[in-house]
Structure 1
Amino acid sequence: MATQTLNRATLGTSTSPAVRQPRKKMSAGKIAAVVVAAVIAVLWLVPFAWATVTAFKSETDAASPKISWVPPSGFTADAFVKVFQDGNIPLWTWNSLYTSAAITAVTLVISSLVAYALSRIDFKGKKVLMTVIIASIIVPPPVLIIPLFYQMLALHMIDTSWAIILPQVIHPAMVFVLKKFFDQIPSELEEAAVMDGASRMRIFLQVVLPLSRPILAAVAIFVFIGAWNNFLWPFIATNDASLLTLPVGLQTIKSAYGIQYAQNMASALLAALPLIVVFLFFQRQIIKGVATTGLAGT
């Protein structure tokens, strides 16, 4: 009896038609969006791939007017070896790492405190201060280079790490983004904390910041990338070779034989490699941050 039941169950299972979920057809708008995204990805990847191929060419093949993805003399890492021989890559990388990390940490503290005050605290001159912050977003950073240089000179900070860090910790755009995010947090949560006897700082640290982890992570990543890529200000603020950041240090590697295309591409890849690693590890936070900055009311 048990065998017959098992056979029937087996036959029923084998002969029953498979249940298939209906495939959802993509609309014309989604197809167009995918095509546009693919074209943009190709437009970005082709120059990056060309730079990578050029970096692994010999200088003769890299300077050849003939376009070739496969060099006649084969691939070589001589350009990278030359860059490491002529420059202090580990020291420059460390300088960029700790200055960018310090800029990111200080920026998060200052921007979050200012944004929270503008979002939750009523005080005189609040609208004027918010207007100044918004207006300062449109000011081009190169305009402030000369005043900042004289300020650092008056404070005797030129040729120090502080000269690189301090002028880059003020980010009005990040204050604006954080303020808009804090506006979306329900005030009832803070009112409940006040009834429990929590102070303003405790509310900020234990209620607001834990709810703001996605936007804080996004701001941290954007500030870190901006600080790492910054070339002009570290180039002006430091003359000491031991304080050079990676973008500045790589530009000091020059040759007496004209432009060395392979070495230039190798230097560019070395400067971009840490950012690529950051993106690979934090791509979810970056995408979430880009989506979060498009809050309603901004």
Structure 2
Amino acid sequence: MDRIWQVGIRLLSVVTAVVFLTPVVWMLALSVKPEGGSLLELSGGLRLGWTLANYRKVLGEAPIFGWMGNSLIVAVCTTVLILLLSSMAAYAFSRLPFRGSRMLFVLFLSGMMIPSEATLIPLYLIMKEYGLLGSLTSLILPAVAAPLGIFVMKQFFDGLPKELEEAARIDGAGPLRIWLSLFLPLSRPAMGALGIFTFIGSWNDFVWPLISISDKAYMTITLGLPAFQSSYVQQYALPMTANALATLPVLLVFIFFQKQIIQGIAFTGGKEG
């Protein structure tokens, strides 16, 4: 009975993987078809032949790498700052109790219940007031306030044995030294999962960059693609080629860090405080 159950789970996993991979394969196949080829039949591309002309045309007509560079700067800076600040705040909540810490932690967590759309106007006014609107900084700073990051890191720190911290204190280490030399190295699994999700979320962000950025020089890939595709509304191969190029970094992150992603899903979904 157990073997039948395992076989059924594996078959279901394979079917699910095929369903999710089909759009990706279709996008990649369409990106190497000549324009005017069959849209729905992959075999049509085989009859017409494969070509890289679409990629050459896209790279020649649109600053794809510039948009990707802006997205990379925003995603990397956001990820680093969230990991740094979330781990520091989580360490304070977990191991440095102070008056009102529980109430303050609940206040932080309440931010997870506020939809991001409700903060767009206040964020816009704040960025405009400080002269940051329209810059990459305006995309990085608002994302640094990450209640989920604090929650995930605190859950992990709560599970670490207190004997390690006590031994470090006996050796003369202060709170900053303990956080830097002990807690950060031990929290690599949690930080890896949080970092990957933060990077992907920042890379795919669209609404706030659409409101904040107006200069083409600071456009991220999520803003540049619609602008490029609007010039080819009657074509399919070129927009799909641009989408394939924009999706490549996220695909690489998933391919090389899929183990950490799976562990992160299991950690954030099933970790007990």
Q: TM-score surpassing 0.5?
A: yes
Q: CA deviation at 1:249?
A: 1.3
1:137 match: 112
- Separation of aligned partners in 2, 1:206 and 1:31: 45
Whole-angstrom CA distance in 1 between matches of 2:232 and 2:182: 61
- Aligned twin of 1:3: none
Partner of 1:164: 139
- Tell whether 2:12 aligns with 1:33: no
Q: Pairwise CA RMSD of aligned residues?
A: 1.9
Instruction: Please say if 1:99 is aligned against 2:77.
Output: no
User: Aligned partners of 1:149, 1:257: CA distance in 2, in Å?
Assistant: 31
Partners of 1:158 and 1:296 lie apart in 2 by 38
1:156 aligns to what SS in structure 2? coil
Confirm or deny: 8 A CA contact 1:115 1:175 kept in the other structure. Answer: yes
2:240 aligned with 1:249: no
Partner of 1:291: 266
Give, in angstroms, the shift of residue 35 of structure 1.
1.8
Q: CA deviation at 1:26?
A: 5.1
- Residue 206 of structure 1 corresponds to 181
Does residue 1:273 correspond to 2:235, yes or no? Answer: no
More helix by share: 2
1:221 to 163, 176, 196: 196
Q: Distance in 1 between matches of 2:217 and 2:94?
A: 42
Cα distance in 2, alignment partners of residues 50 and 179 from structure 1: 41
Amino acid of the structure 1 residue aligned with 2:22: V
SS in 1 for 2:173: coil
- Write the distance in 2 (CA, Å) between the matches of 1:238 and 1:203: 40
Question: Whole-Å Cα distance in 1 between the matches of residues 71 and 233 of structure 2?
Answer: 28
Work out the CA distance in 1 between the residues paired with 2:240 and 2:229: 13
Q: Which has the larger radius of gyration?
A: 1
Secondary structure at the counterpart of residue 185 of structure 1: coil
Q: Is 2:219 aligned against 1:235?
A: no
Q: C-alpha distance in 2, partners of 1:165/1:93?
A: 15
Q: Kindly provide the CA deviation profile for residues 96-125 of structure 1, in whole angstroms up to 9, marking residues without a partner as x.
A: 111111111111111111111111121222
The letter of the residue matching 2:215 is D
Take 2:271 and 2:76, find their aligned partners in 1: how far apart are those partners? 30
Instruction: State the 1:224 CA deviation.
Output: 0.8
CA distance in 2, matches of 1:189, 1:257: 60
C-alpha contact 2:168 2:178 (8 A) present in aligned 1: yes
Contact 2:229-2:239 at 8 Å conserved across structures = no
Task: Provide TM-score, normalisation by structure 2.
Answer: 0.92
Given that 2:232 and 2:238 are in contact with CA atoms closer than 8 Å, whether structure 1 keeps it comes out as no
Partner of residue 31 from structure 2, selected from 55, 64, 68 = 55
Runs of 4+ in 1 over 4 A off after TM superposition: none
Question: In 2, Cα distance between the equivalents of 1:34 and 1:141?
Answer: 37
Deviation at 1:258, TM superposition (A): 3.0
Separation of aligned partners in 2, 1:226 and 1:161: 16
CA contact (8 A) 2:232 2:239 kept: no
Residue 14 (structure 1) aligns with: none
Distance 2:84 2:233 in 1: 46
Judged with a 3 Å threshold, the aligned counterparts in structure 2 of structure 1 residues 197 and 88 are, in CA distance, closer, same or farther, namely same
Percent of aligned pairs sharing the same letter: 38
User: Take 2:272 and 2:218, find their aligned partners in 1: how far apart are those partners?
Assistant: 43
Unaligned residue ranges in structure 1 (runs of 5+): 1-24
- CA deviation map 1:106-145 (0-9, x unaligned): 1111111111111112122222222222222122212211
Size of the alignment, in residue pairs?
271
Letter in 1 for 2:51: T
One-letter code of the match for 1:280?
A: I
Shift of 1:257: 5.8
Change beyond 3 A, Cα 1:37–1:254 = closer
Q: Is the 8 A contact 1:180 1:295 kept in 2?
A: no
Q: Aligned-pair distance for 1:256? A: 4.9
List per-residue Cα deviations over 1:39-75 (Å, max 9, x = no partner): 110110111111111222233225x5xx311225333
Range moving further from structure 2, 118-127 or 251-260: 251-260
Give per-residue Cα distances to partners, 1:191-250, cap 9 Å, x unaligned: 111122110111111111111111111111111111111122122211111111112112
The answer on whether the counterparts of 1:103 and 1:168 sit within 8 Å (CA) in structure 2 is: yes
Counterpart contact for 1:56–1:77, Cα < 8 Å: yes
